[in-house]
Amino acid sequence: MKPNLLFSLLLLLPLSLSATPKSGYEYLAPETRTMQDDEFENPGMVGLELGREEFHKPGEEGGTCAGCHGDDGSKLNPKAIAAYPVYSKGLDKPITLRDRIHICWDESLGNFPMLYNDKRALYLETFVRNLARGEKVNVDIEGPLKPFYEKGKKTYRARYGQMGMACYHCHDYFPGRMIRGQRLSEGHTNGFPLYRLGTGKLTSLDDRLQECFRSLRAEVFEKKSEIWRNLEVYLNARGNGLKIETPAVRF
């Protein structure tokens, strides 16, 4: 076999397939890790503080999130936060943390419904998930979430767009390699919502999935769609055992 052909074939081999999930934090440059770890330097903390304000802001009926969940969320259980998405018997489908925020916003506070991608929902999600920072992701897929997990797994492994690529091509086969100025990670969700240096924005998982699909020149599914929700079940469970880093900092 010619040397140049052998080299080309080696490039197609996985760089690393870790037995246990590895956070995107492990692929960051040292200065970016320092930025994430320092609450005064982490730009995602701005969104967190805006979420804290929303958490204490009265709704249309006079109630607040803090009124149910304690000042600064003191009554919220970090382990329960780390278990999202969870299965809702009443709705007969998975409920993401963002879904739960919308339900509380409408039903508990009596507010006019927000759009799914409303910045207030993003800030609240950042604030609430940060309460579980350091807690290990623990999505239970042995019960009623199992079929939704399997659907999400199929989406993760399906080819999309003009480039005919799937999520796993980047995140299972090439973590650690460079692409368009950034180092590929294993694609775990333990840092979301997170601050992206590449866009200068606080970014939800929904937003990031849409960005990825656009980069594949693929059809972008609507936010709150079933396919996104199932994919979130799979992605979060895929990272079970990783510590929550919200708000993480990524490229």
Closest-CA residue to 246 (of 98, 118, 115): 98
Indicate which residue of 65, 104, 167, 212 is catalytic. Answer: 212
- b/e per residue, 149-188, with b = 16+ CB within 10 A? bebbbebbeeebbeeebbbeebbbbbbeeeeeeebbbbbb
Q: How far apart are the first and last CA of the chain?
A: 39
Query: Cα torsion for 165, 171, 177, 180, to the nearest 10°?
Result: 50
CB-based burial label for 21 (10 Å; 0-12, 13-18, 19+):
middle
Q: How would you write 62-106 as a 3-class SS string?
A: CCCHHHHHCHHHCCCCHHHHCCCCEEECCCCEEECHHHHHHHHHH
Q: What is d(CA 166, CA 188) in angstroms, rounded to the nearest whole number? A: 15
Look at residue 248 and give its three-state secondary structure: strand
- The residue type found at 244 is I
68 as an active site residue: the answer is no
Look at residue 211 and give its three-state secondary structure: helix
Active-site residues: which are they? 212
